[in-house]
Structure 1
Amino acid sequence: MVRKIKKIGFYALLLLAALSFLYPFYWMILASLTPEQNIGTLGIVPQGITFEHYTGMIEKIPIWSALFNSVFVATLSTFGVIVFGSMTGYALAKMRFKGRNLLFYTIIFTMTLPFQITLIPNYILMVNFHWVDTLAALVVPSLNSAFAILLFRQAFMTIPDDLIHAAKVDGCGDLRIIFQILWPNIIPSIITVGILTFMTSWNDVLWPLIVIREEGLMTMPQLVTLFAVGGRSEAQLGVKLASAVLLALPIIIAYLFLQKYFIQSMASSGIKS
């Protein structure tokens, strides 16, 4: 009986914690569908449903072009990180060369450096390459990730060397081994890297604000930020919340469908040297 009471109490606490995390998202979605005059008194129950905030937002800013730009940039960045990160991780896990461990620990060290340290050098590179106000300035600098390299290395370390030796005996090269033989064995790690990279690219605001000035090339986070703080929303809270909902929706949907692989990978990826 005591064990059952403890179990009920434990699940009650988990439920309370889940509701505390979910309620802000619920309120944001509900408020974006509520008439402006009712948002201040909004609780749990809807007080009228309207889509005027969404139509007003679409009329004020080019949200669909920004959505396309964000999807394009985030998709290319995610694909690049998965491909190049897995290649680098394979080299660090399965190839023997001088300075391999030093290179690995150097990559780990770069994870401790804040993004702001490389901000100015990266911007100077974009200016020299004439990539300012182009989507290349958003895609190219994000085509690799130290975290992705680390995660792929740890995933490849769990795969027996005999599998790679057998593939080489059959005449497979390193690229074919990575993409055709090893990738099917590390699907959770690939999905984890994909989710995290897509989220990072999708939510990035600072770098696009620096290198993109043309409205037609802006990403959704950049455009929504300028829309919310730049006065074009005309201090309408409902319109701001509608833009925030559209910004968060793709990430929420992707995580809901892929959370099983994400949790599986994060639970099974240990650090091996």
Structure 2
Amino acid sequence: MTTETTPRPAPRPARPARTRRRKDLGTPRRLSRGQTILQGIVLTLGAIAFLFPFYYMLVGSLQTAPDTSIAGAFPNPANLTLQNYAEINSRINLLTGLVNSGIFTGGVLLGTVVFGVLAGYSLAVLQWRGRGVTFALALLVQTIPFQLLMIPLYVLIARNYGLADNYLGMILPFAINSAAVLIFRQYFLQLPKELFDAARVDGAGEFRLLWRIALPLVRPALVTVLLLTFIGPWNEFLWPFLITKEASLQPLAVSLANYISTVAGSTANPYGAILSGAVVLAAPVVVLFIVFQRYFTSTDLGSSVKG
């Protein structure tokens, strides 16, 4: 009598440790209650430390009598007034400074976007001789400080072109931003080539490809470049100070610096007047970031290509 034995199934091969490790890394680990509370406390303290200088600047700009102590961060409501804003506005005209800063910044943004998009698209999508060398030169420009080029630029623009005390003279040195070119190039490289190939088959030209296909898909790059570029010319002091001598053409940053160095000490509350000017200068940047911060997220490029 023979007994049949059921063969045992072969043991499963062990999953490689590398595969398990990758899967573990890809799965987010849930934090415990204590870790969540600790994380919230740390983030709250970091937010307070980051926002406190802005709060102190705003409170200091509203104080009638200057108070540089720690208690000045929590002033008496009876000590708050808008007189400091009226005082500095009577000396430098805040509205004129804001308009000059807006013209200067707007011109720089326009040149940065136009030339950045064209150069970035050319370096990422088009095939032409010397593209690699041009990209290397764009990277090289990042290592050259602007202060090194300031004297030859002043001679070229003020003396040769005669653009001193002119908005165009302020804008020209910043009209092309190599960092914006690199940002646009990286975004254009992420676009599927099938989109451009299909459009070319339908007879679309390169400018139509750029306007109808590429630009709508790289909207986060446009907003990112605008926000990052906005800060530079808006707070720029040295070049507008060199190229403009007329007070009616100077941006607000230059007007504030002249006010601090000349007449701030003669006012009843110089700290309050200076801080009120700083609030006016910083307010557009803060509002801009609050409104457009959601556009920093990347767009969904895969939805444009059918599977």
What's the TM-score, normalizing by structure 1?
Answer: 0.92
Could you tell which deviates more after superposition, 85-94 or 163-172? 163-172
Q: Deviations along 1:172-223, whole A, 9 cap, x unmatched?
A: 2222221222111011110000001111110100111111110000001111
Q: Distance in 1 between matches of 2:174 and 2:204?
A: 30
Alpha-carbon shift at residue 230 of structure 1 (Å) = 2.5
Quote the sequence identity (%).
Answer: 31
* Local SS of the residue matching 2:74: coil
Name which of 207, 210, 234 aligns with 1:175. Answer: 207
Whether 2:49 is the aligned partner of 1:20: answer yes
Name which of 90, 93, 96 aligns with 1:59. Answer: 90
- Structure 1 pair 37/159, CA: closer, same or farther in 2 (3 Å)? closer
* Local SS of the residue matching 1:42: helix
Could you tell which deviates more after superposition, 19-28 or 227-236? 227-236
Q: Distance in 2 between matches of 1:242 and 1:178?
A: 44
Q: Which residue of 1 aligns with 2:81?
A: 50
Instruction: Confirm or deny: 8 A CA contact 1:233 1:239 kept in the other structure.
Output: no
- Structure 1 pair 156/37, CA: closer, same or farther in 2 (3 Å)? closer
Q: Deviations along 1:236-258, whole A, 9 cap, x unmatched?
A: 11000000000000000000011
* Local SS of the residue matching 2:222: helix
Q: Which residue of 1 aligns with 2:236?
A: 204
Whether 2:191 is the aligned partner of 1:163: answer no
Q: Which residue of 2 aligns with 1:126?
A: 157
Structure 2 matches for 1:80-229, cutoff 5 A?
80-127=111-158, 128-229=160-261
Instruction: Confirm or deny: 8 A CA contact 1:78 1:194 kept in the other structure.
Output: yes
Instruction: Confirm or deny: 8 A CA contact 2:157 2:169 kept in the other structure.
Output: yes
Whether 2:105 is the aligned partner of 1:74: answer yes
Q: Distance in 1 between matches of 2:265 and 2:254?
A: 14
Instruction: Confirm or deny: 8 A CA contact 1:30 1:46 kept in the other structure.
Output: no
Unaligned runs of 5+ in 2: 1-29, 302-307
Structure 2 matches for 1:211-250, cutoff 5 A?
211-232=243-264, 234=266, 236-250=270-284
Instruction: Confirm or deny: 8 A CA contact 1:36 1:237 kept in the other structure.
Output: no
Partner amino acid, structure 2, of 1:19: I
Partner amino acid, structure 2, of 1:204: E
What's the TM-score, normalizing by structure 2?
Answer: 0.82
Alpha-carbon shift at residue 19 of structure 1 (Å) = 0.5
Instruction: Confirm or deny: 8 A CA contact 1:34 1:238 kept in the other structure.
Output: yes
- Structure 1 pair 214/168, CA: closer, same or farther in 2 (3 Å)? same
Q: Distance in 2 between matches of 1:2 and 1:78?
A: 43
Alpha-carbon shift at residue 46 of structure 1 (Å) = 4.6
Q: Deviations along 1:141-171, whole A, 9 cap, x unmatched?
A: 2111110000000000001122112222333
Q: Distance in 1 between matches of 2:221 and 2:175?
A: 17
Alpha-carbon shift at residue 71 of structure 1 (Å) = 0.6
Q: Distance in 1 between matches of 2:54 and 2:243?
A: 31
Unaligned runs of 5+ in 1: 269-273
Aligned length: 265
